Amino acid sequence: MKSFCVVGAGFSGAIIARHLAERGHKVTVVDERPHMGGNCHTERDAETGVMVHKYGPHIFHTADQRAWDYVQRFGKFRPYVNRVKAISSDRVYTLPVNLLTINQFFGTTMGPKEARAFIESKADRSIKEARSFEEQALSMIGPELYRAFFYGYTRKQWGLEPTELPASILKRLPLRFNYDDNYFNHPYQGMPEDGYTAIIENILAVDGIDIRLGCSFESLEEPYDHVFYTGPIDRYFQFRLGRLGYRTLDFERFVDEGDHQGTAVINYCDEAVPFTRISEHKHFAPWEQEKFSKTVCFREYSRLAGETDIPYYPIRLVNEKKMLDSYIELAKAEKKVSFLGRLGTYRYLDMDVTITEALAACDQIDIVLQEDDTILPSFFVDPA
């Protein structure tokens, strides 16, 4: 039996911890927050009773059967389709850009073939290989839709000109020439009936795990055979090479009677509006929304993360990539520590990818632990 420390009680840490405990090892899970779930944490709002996504909306969607089967072992998932609306120039549209969006925006009644040809005529075909977010947008949808839905929103979300952002950010956004307004393409989509924190609690509800909330890794004094670290990689090394850049979010909570906006999420695309979106949380649980007389909403503001802020989105521009490479080298030289998850690898990961990678890491851990003299890897996925 070995003793392990898992830093972070989000999905990555919980999956690793349970896997090790089920194999008879002693596991300590630490998280400096007073709750489990990381940024997926959900809780009942004290005033309204609505299940709130404390750190912003999280909708579970995946094409990975293994990840889908795994989460359903620990809680009931209800069907949920993410249908996002957007306000641009005082008009409401549907996202992602689909046939309805195109016809609404241009005041047309085109069918799929006409709309495809129309958008192709708008797209900048001189851009053979997009080098930036802006070039990717112009080559996909042309200037009008780009300016209406992406330019101002992107500047607010990232605090940068779209010409400074990589094309990869936009490549994962769908463009459809039918009336499908499901924001995601994945076959498995849903929302946990009792929230994400209950899922994490159930994953960690196994003998052999010592959970310490409100406890930082730096405060621990016990020796461990190995540490699985899902916190920020630069923090582990006490920021000796500098701080990696993140965007953080501020939430302005407000309560209204009845139904405030009629849907879960509305994006505010105009740059003159200081917030990026409003989330109305009772709509994330449509099976219970009618029982609440009040509704709770969050206005969401994005800004550069300071030293005491919660990191949300890794920036990963040129300077950060250079610094990350240096931290990776430090990590590879570190003994008895594995870095994983969104913060440990400094990558933007959806929940399903986090779960998929954690389960794959468990497979590797089993192989390695069969050989007593074999060392667990610093990374299970190349963070570069």
CB-neighbour burial class of residue 207 (10 A; exposed 0-12, middle 13-18, buried 19+): exposed
Which residue out of 66, 256, 348, 363 is catalytically annotated?
348
Which residue out of 32, 193, 194, 350 is catalytically annotated?
350
Active site residue 247: yes
Which residue out of 18, 33, 235, 247 is catalytically annotated?
247
Active site residue 153: no
Token pair for residue 240?
A: 């000796």
Active site residue 347: no
Three-state SS for the chain is: CCEEEEECCCHHHHHHHHHHHHCCCEEEEEECCCCCCHHHCEEECCCCCCEEECCCCCCEEECCHHHHHHHHCCCCEECCCCCEEEEECCEEEEECCCHHHHHHHHCCCCCHHHHHHHHHHHCCCCCCCCCCHHHHHHHHHHHHHHHHHHHHHHHHHHCCCHHHCCCHHHHCCCCCCCCCCCCCCCCEEEEECCCHHHHHHHHHCCCCEEEEECCCHHHCCCCCCEEEECCCHHHHCCCCCCCCCEEEEEEEEEEEECCCCCCCEEEECCCCCCCCEEEEHHHHCCCCHHHCCEEEEEEEEEEECCCCCCCCEECCCHHHHHHHHHHHHHHHHCCCEEECHHHHCCCCCCHHHHHHHHHHHHHHHHHHHCCCCCCCCCECCCCC
The answer to whether residues 266 and 275 touch, using CB atoms and an 8 Å cutoff, is: no
Which residue out of 33, 235, 277, 316 is catalytically annotated?
277
Which residue out of 31, 134, 300, 357 is catalytically annotated?
300
Nearest to 20 by CA among 219, 217, 220, 225: 225
Distances (CA, A) of 224 to 1, 15, 203, 221, 362: 12, 19, 22, 9, 18
Active site residue 277: yes
Which residue out of 176, 316, 342, 347 is catalytically annotated?
176
Which residue out of 73, 172, 307, 382 is catalytically annotated?
172
Active site residue 172: yes
Active site residue 350: yes
Active site residue 225: no
Active site positions, annotated: 172, 176, 247, 277, 300, 348, 350
